[in-house]
Amino acid sequence: MCARRAGGHNAGMEAQSVMLPTQEATEDLARRIASVATPGDAILLSGVLGAGKSVFSRAFLRAACADPDMEVPSPSYTLVQVYDTPRGPIAHFDLWRLSGPDAVHELGWDDACEGIVLVEWPDRLGALAPADALRIDLEVLEDGARRACLTGWADRPVPAP
């Protein structure tokens, strides 16, 4: 089960736990969230290596671009990839290689926040992490399944499957 955040961003907001037994379930969750994301939104993805952050990101971007076969390279080396979508720009950040928030500004963070931002390894944002972001913490379970703990967007629930 997801624990309610004791402090910091989204404090006091109820966490929602979503079981993700397969990669397809992770992709479905991403598509559902993409269906309600709007400019100004931030989706922050946390979890260990292999938890499904990139799987989620690819499915989110394909859904937002209405192109299920679109090539979605990982921004692990470029640090940010920007996509033009029918809803405006989406900036996909992978901050794994950053040591902290100072370098984020150089990547165009302020401008990117006018569109939708999708961030892997958001702990590197520090105080730049938007307080009203949707935080998704992906956990790998013993059987290999995943669990997503969603916190935020209290005014806009994620559509049911």
> Residues 103-144: pLDDT tens digits?
787 888 889 999 999 999 999 898 999 999 999 999 999 999
Sheet holding 146-151, edge to edge: 16-20, 146-151, 134-140, 42-46, 116-120, 88-94, 80-85
Q: Which helix (DSSP H) or strand (DSSP E) does residue 24 occupy?
A: helix 23-34
Which residues of the chain register pLDDT less than 50? Answer: 1-12
Q: What is the DSSP string of 46-71?
A: E-STTSSHHHHHHHHHHHHTT-TT--
Cα separations in angstroms, 137 against 46, 78, 110: 5, 23, 24
Structural domains of the chain, ranges and CATH numbers in brackets: 17-151 (3.40.50.300)
Give the pLDDT score at 154.
76
Strand partners, 81: 92
Return left, alpha or beta for 35; rule: phi > 0 is left, psi -120 to 50 is alpha, else beta: alpha
Give the pLDDT score at 107.
84
Give the pLDDT score at 46.
96
Beta-carbon count within 10 A of 95 CB: 22
